[in-house]
Amino acid sequence: MVKKTSWRYSQVPKEYQSCGGIDLGNGVLIWKNKWQPVAYFDSVRFTSYCDEGNPVYSSLKRNRLSFPYSKALQRDWHTFITSGNDRGPFKYSIYAIIMSFTTNFVITLFLTVIVFITIRQKPHRGASNLLKLGSTLASVNLAIFISKALKVLHQDHIYKGVVSTERVLDLLWMDLTFTCLDLLVVLICQLCQVQIIMRLFSRVKEKRTVFLVGVTLSIISQVLWAIPTLAQSINDNFSGLSYDADGLTLLSPFVYLFRIALAASYACIICFNMFNKRHLCFLYQRMMILTLLALIIVLLQPGFFVADVANIWVDDLSEIFNTTCYVGSAVIVWEWVDHILILERKVQAQSVLGRPVYEDDQEDYHFAKYALKVQDAISRDSETGEIGSRNDTANSGTEEQRVRWQYGDDTPPRDTNKVEFNEPQPLKNVILEKCSRIWDGMIYYTDHFIVKGLVIKTLSIHSKSSSDDHRKRKAKVRRRIGLDRPNEVYVYATRDVVFDSDEDEAESNQGSSVDEERDFP
């Protein structure tokens, strides 16, 4: 048997009498073959069929004519299922294992269907596609695994008459297809979790930090996980390769704990946000159910760690549970965050102040750039209609260009009169330039995800039943966020409001009463 938990001592198997052989004595008449149906033996020794040193017992349908089991065998079987070993009790049997496999498969399939039906494409197109890919891969992976497991069990039943849990667990740890697809699925789900956390933060700089830290940790955890897992799988599948078991024994539990630590951190962040936005979480019944579901699913993985520490059975199946936990914690929490953000925006739309704008948004002139982009598109449209005003538009074009340079949208033109020499730059400058380029590239890639979040296009669009409805909603949203009046871009700043004092008010009242007296003598 191949066990992934190579860092744990497996329990020493008991020695069963029926597996070692039972002396039945002499004088026994048994059927030997058709030419000699009955024979006399001096000394008969019976050895029962055992599975990895453990007794087996037929679970097939029995009737009156079936041979009875020997008392020694029945006694061994009773000891096997009642003593607290790793394989005997019912929870370690094939039924419980098949049930957990199929349940996980059904849950993952269900989550995949949910992803395709309810998760919106906009405004996070890349992340929703990633989520769809991850859940589909997980479903396919589990479907392949279950069909392989059933095939193995079918063959065992035909050739041995035994349905063994060991073979299925061996398949779980040794199958390279399952391992590779699982690696991919978990990485995708972890990236989706990073996206979810990014959505929970409003400031651009915080989103960048979450993205960089989250992606780095996800990749590190998956690379570290792949080393012992793939090494063991490859060693089991291709004999003759060198395999440093001792070195990998230490890495395997470290990665396991690292993953648990990441999952616990993710659960903490989600729980903290749930607590912060509790007035939205329990606004109505459906939201309450979704919140509870999200809470349970994010706590499942740390919960499984506790269960694993207490019970090795869970550890053997951890990979199957892991896949479902990761897909669930990405899909359901994504849906929860979607609902929370929609509710939050609704509250903001109804409030006097509207959506909060942070200093991070203003620092990189996002709003100015956005206004210029809108204006650019509109002026381009108007330019095509106006033929006679080419000079004017050219002038205004240069003005707009200058503004764009000012805000870093385009690169400014080079000074043509400047003489440049090809002097070799000092190494320090070259390194700094390269580093700043890498940094700029990373920030650009991060902003690719973030800018969409800044310009929210949709507020409460969930179903796309008809194009008319969609258009109406789009027009409504455009009107609400001011896109129907692109020429009127306002910049506000805080200002002290000075209220008139009571005396002034009294004076003005007196003044107005005098006026009234004058008007109505």
Partner 1 sequence: MPSKSRSVIFVLLTLALIFQIFPTISIPVVDRIYLSTYNGRKFGVFGWCTAKSSECTSPRIGYEILPLNGTTEVASLFLPSRAKRSISKLLIVHPISLFFTFVLWTLALALNMHNFGQSRKILAGAVLWSLLTVLLSLLSFLVDILLFVPYLAWPGWLVLVSTVFIAVASSMMCIIRRAVSLRKYEKLRNRDNVELVPLRFSNVNSNSSKPTASEGVSDTQESAAWQHVAPDQPELVHRAV
Q: Distance between CA atoms of 95 and 9, rounded to whole angstroms?
A: 25
* Dihedral (Cα; 474, 480, 485, 487), 10-degree rounding: -110
Q: Which stretch binds partner 1 (CB under 8 A): 61-69, 70-78, 339-347, 489-497?
A: 489-497
Residue with token string 């990633």: 130
Going by C-alpha positions, the residue among 193, 319, 345 that lies closest to residue 256 is 319
How many Cβ atoms sit within 10 Å of the Cβ of residue 140?
Answer: 15
Is 12 a residue that touches partner 1 (CB under 8 A)?
A: yes
Residue 352 or 491: the one with the smaller Cβ distance to partner 1 is 491
Q: Which stretch binds partner 1 (CB under 8 A): 101-109, 162-170, 231-239, 399-407?
A: 399-407
Query: Which residue among 1, 257, 289, 432 contacts partner 1 (CB under 8 A)?
Result: 257
Query: Which residue among 42, 359, 503, 516 contacts partner 1 (CB under 8 A)?
Result: 359
Would you say how long the chain is, in residues? 521
The tokens describing 26, both together, are 């002499």
Q: Which stretch binds partner 1 (CB under 8 A): 3-11, 226-234, 316-324, 439-447?
A: 3-11
How many Cβ atoms sit within 10 Å of the Cβ of residue 366?
Answer: 19
Residue 227 or 264: the one with the smaller Cβ distance to partner 1 is 264
The residue type found at 451 is: V
Query: Which residue among 93, 379, 443, 461 contacts partner 1 (CB under 8 A)?
Result: 379
DSSP string, 250-270: HHHHHHHHHHHHHHHHHHHHH
How many Cβ atoms sit within 10 Å of the Cβ of residue 82?
Answer: 10
Residue 206 or 344: the one with the smaller Cβ distance to partner 1 is 206
Q: Distance between CA atoms of 130 and 192, rounded to whole angstroms?
A: 7
How many Cβ atoms sit within 10 Å of the Cβ of residue 270?
Answer: 23
How many Cβ atoms sit within 10 Å of the Cβ of residue 346?
Answer: 13
Residue 42 or 359: the one with the smaller Cβ distance to partner 1 is 359
Rounded to whole angstroms, what are the CA distances from 310 to 10, 274, 304, 306, 314? 15, 29, 10, 6, 9
N-term to C-term CA, the chain? 110
Largest CA-CA distance found in the chain, in angstroms, rounded: 143
Going by C-alpha positions, the residue among 305, 302, 298 that lies closest to residue 327 is 298
Is 403 a residue that touches partner 1 (CB under 8 A)?
A: yes
- Minimum distance from residue 261 beta carbon to partner 1 (Å): 5
CA triple 286-108-282, angle to 5 deg: 15
The tokens describing 199, both together, are 């959505």
Binding mask 266-305 for partner 1 (x = CB under 8 A): --x---x--------------------------------x
Residue 369 or 474: the one with the smaller Cβ distance to partner 1 is 369
Residue 29 or 432: the one with the smaller Cβ distance to partner 1 is 432
Is 490 a residue that touches partner 1 (CB under 8 A)?
A: yes
Residue 384 or 487: the one with the smaller Cβ distance to partner 1 is 487
Is 497 a residue that touches partner 1 (CB under 8 A)?
A: no
Q: Which stretch binds partner 1 (CB under 8 A): 92-100, 103-111, 174-182, 490-498?
A: 490-498
- Minimum distance from residue 112 beta carbon to partner 1 (Å): 31
Is 396 a residue that touches partner 1 (CB under 8 A)?
A: yes
Subset of 406-435 contacting partner 1 (CB under 8 A): 406-407
- Minimum distance from residue 413 beta carbon to partner 1 (Å): 16
- Minimum distance from residue 400 beta carbon to partner 1 (Å): 7
Q: Distance between CA atoms of 511 and 125, rounded to whole angstroms?
A: 63
Residues that bind partner 1 (CB under 8 A): 7-9, 11-12, 203, 205-206, 209, 213, 217, 246, 249-250, 253-254, 257-258, 260-262, 264-265, 268, 272, 305, 309-310, 358-360, 362-363, 371, 375, 378-379, 382, 392, 395-396, 398-400, 402-403, 406-407, 487-495
